[in-house]
């Protein structure tokens, strides 16, 4: 599976998990985001890409917020998101050039 396809699948998995956790149906999320249910289904299953504005609307319908994070800060963001029971490792470590 290509990187783009895997990214669409990963995003769809996150949306599905969040939707399930909030107890919303695909129809409800689609209505809140202003798109059709089939369109939302395709995004959630990773079958189709979506415009940034559509992803922002879907994210907000699910109580999420999209952010652009500098690549150098991704390790720190991931460290903040990990469960507390993991080893207490530094949130950010400089990578050699």
Let me know if residue 97 belongs to a domain. no
CA distance 38 to 83: 34
Total residues found in the chain within this entry: 97
Whether residue 84 lies inside any domain: the answer is no
pLDDT (mean) for 10-25: 96
Residue 78: the pLDDT is 84
Confidence band, pLDDT 50/70/90 cuts, at residue 93: low
Tell me which residue range forms the domain holding 47: 3-61
Q: Is residue 66 part of a domain?
A: no
Q: How many domains does the chain have?
A: 1
CATH number of the domain where residue 12 is located: 1.10.260.40
CA distance 9 to 12: 5
Asked if the structure places residue 91 within a domain, the reply is no
In angstroms, how far is the first alpha carbon of the chain from the final one? 29
Average pLDDT of 35-56? 96
Residue 31 belongs to some domain of the structure: yes
pTM: 0.75
Answer whether residue 43 is part of any domain: yes
What is the 3-class SS of 21-52, one letter each residue?
HHCCCHHHHHHHHCCCHHHHHHHHCCCCCCCH
């Amino acid at each position: 599976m290509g990187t783009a396809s895997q990214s669409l699948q990963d995003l769809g998995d996150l949306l599905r998990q969040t939707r399930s956790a909030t107890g919303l149906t695909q129809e409800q999320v689609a209505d809140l985001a202003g798109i059709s249910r089939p369109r939302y289904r395709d995004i959630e299953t990773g079958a189709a890409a979506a415009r940034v504005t559509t992803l922002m609307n879907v994210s907000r319908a699910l109580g999420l917020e999209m952010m652009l994070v500098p690549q150098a800060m991704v390790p720190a963001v991931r460290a903040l998101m990990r469960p507390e029971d993991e080893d207490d490792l530094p949130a950010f470590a400089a990578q050699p050039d």
